[in-house]
């Protein structure tokens, strides 16, 4: 992870120069068209079967009563949605998902910015080792981290509680406490995926030309002034993009939550994905229609943020365009 590896600005320049000339025009016959679709075939089949079709099928499944994958489906109209919306536990999971997002996103975006700025200073020794260390949790298996963390945080004999005991706080059950479980999971989540956002910021920081700092320093600017008048304004467009990317990522949290708490205690950490899982796979009689209706609502939530994402990309690009 040397500074060479996040080579943002150079690559981008090269691309924008040649992008206009690159696209081929359709001046070839059916043979070429055939090859085009042959090339697309694996993606059409696999992606169509396992991503596009499920997105559409979920809508149909949300309209049927369907108790188990082997049994038949009976059309019941919107009654699944009525049940989902009347279920306080669904709203609970909705609330938990959003609350988790609020706990995670600001901390993740701002703390990683701070760390990225520290790890971007050219004079800091051991920079490669440090970056790797802060990045390593990202590549490890989330589900396994969840299981291991249950032991690390064990109130009876885990290492964290033995530190706390030495400091005079005994027996804190982080994952078993109604009020502590979600914040504890949020801290672990931030730790686990810290590296991803940090790389985003490092990539963003490296778009700022070094000469800009040098010129300002010659003019007598101090560290704070450099940050205030160069770094911050240059990073503003990235802030939007990185925030929205981070929000999207917090929706993919089944692995950690399920292995850490499985939604407990008393549904206090039950995010929507676990809610869906519980109705579809963990119930004695699976209610697949009900679970699908919840999934569709969840999909809409993600889609809204996705739309926000496109808007953010667009705005970010415009802001960057204005600066040049």
Partner 1 sequence: MTAELTVERSDRQRRILSRLPWWIAALVLVGIALVWIFPFLWMLSASLKDSMEMFSGGLRLWPDKFVWDNYARAWNDAHFGRYLINTILVTVITVVIVTVRCALAGYVLARYRFRGSKLFLGILVATLFVPTGYTIIPVVKISMQLHLIDSLSGMILALSGGAYVSAILLYYGYFRQIPRELEEAALVDGAGFVRTFFSVMLPLAMPVTATVAVLTFIATWNAFFLPLVFTFSRPDLRTVSVGMQAFVGETATDWSGMAAAGVISIVPVVVLFIFLQRYFVEGISGAVKS
Query: Which of 117, 221, 230, 245 is in the footprint of partner 1 by CB under 8 A?
Result: 245
Stretch that binds partner 1, among 75-83, 100-108, 175-183, 236-244 (CB under 8 A): 236-244
Please report, as residue ranges, which positions from 112 to 151 form the binding site for partner 1 (by CB under 8 A).
118, 121, 123-126, 129-130, 132-137, 139-145, 147-151
CA distance 112 to 193: 10
Q: Which two tokens stand for residue 23?
A: 């696209």
In this structure, are residues 76 and 289 in contact, taking their beta carbons and an 8 Å threshold? yes
For the bound state, the minimum distance from the C-beta of residue 137 to partner 1, rounded and expressed in Å, comes to 8
For the bound state, the minimum distance from the C-beta of residue 127 to partner 1, rounded and expressed in Å, comes to 8
Residue 223 binding partner 1, by CB under 8 A: no
Residues 6+ apart with CB under 8 A from 233: 323
Per-residue x/- mask for partner 1, residues 247 to 286, rule CB under 8 A?
-x--xx-xx--xx------------xx--xx--xx-----
Closest CB to partner 1 among residues 182, 198: 198
Please report, as residue ranges, which positions from 145 to 184 form the binding site for partner 1 (by CB under 8 A).
145, 147-152, 157, 159, 162-163
Map residue 93 onto helix, strand or coil.
Answer: helix
For the bound state, the minimum distance from the C-beta of residue 305 to partner 1, rounded and expressed in Å, comes to 8
What is the torsional sign of CA 182, 185, 187, 189?
Answer: negative
Residues 6+ apart with CB under 8 A from 46: none
In this structure, are residues 315 and 226 in contact, taking their beta carbons and an 8 Å threshold? no
Residues recorded for the chain? 324
Stretch that binds partner 1, among 43-51, 81-89, 101-109, 227-235 (CB under 8 A): 43-51
């Amino acid at each position: 992870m040397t500074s060479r590896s996040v080579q943002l600005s150079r690559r981008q320049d090269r691309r924008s120069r040649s992008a206009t000339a690159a696209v081929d025009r359709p001046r070839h016959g059916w043979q070429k068209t055939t090859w085009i679709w042959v090339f697309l075939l694996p993606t059409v089949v696999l992606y169509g079967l396992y991503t596009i079709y499920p997105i559409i099928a979920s809508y149909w499944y949300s309209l049927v009563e369907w108790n188990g994958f082997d049994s038949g489906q009976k059309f019941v109209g919107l009654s699944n949605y009525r049940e989902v919306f009347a279920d306080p536990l669904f709203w609970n999971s909705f609330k938990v998902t959003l609350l988790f997002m609020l706990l995670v996103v600001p901390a993740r975006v701002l703390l990683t910015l701070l760390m990225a700025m520290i790890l971007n200073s050219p004079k800091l020794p051991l920079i490669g080792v440090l970056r790797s260390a802060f990045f390593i949790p990202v590549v490890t298996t989330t589900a396994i981290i969840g299981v291991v963390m249950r032991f690390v945080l064990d109130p009876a004999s885990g290492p964290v509680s033995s530190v706390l005991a030495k400091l005079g706080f005994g027996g804190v059950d982080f994952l078993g406490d109604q009020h502590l479980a979600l914040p504890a999971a949020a801290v672990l989540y931030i730790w686990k995926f810290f590296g991803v956002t940090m790389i985003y910021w490092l990539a963003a920081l490296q778009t700022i030309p070094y000469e800009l700092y040098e010129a300002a320093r010659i003019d007598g600017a101090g560290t704070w002034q450099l940050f205030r008048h160069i770094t911050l304004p240059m990073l503003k467009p990235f802030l939007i993009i990185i925030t929205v990317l981070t929000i999207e990522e917090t929706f993919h949290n089944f692995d950690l939550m399920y292995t850490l708490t499985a939604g407990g205690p008393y549904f206090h950490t039950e995010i929507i994905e676990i809610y869906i899982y519980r109705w579809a796979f963990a119930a004695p009689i699976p209610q697949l229609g009900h679970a699908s209706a919840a999934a569709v609502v969840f999909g809409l939530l993600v889609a809204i943020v996705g739309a926000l994402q496109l808007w953010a990309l667009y705005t970010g690009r415009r802001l960057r365009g204005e600066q040049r």
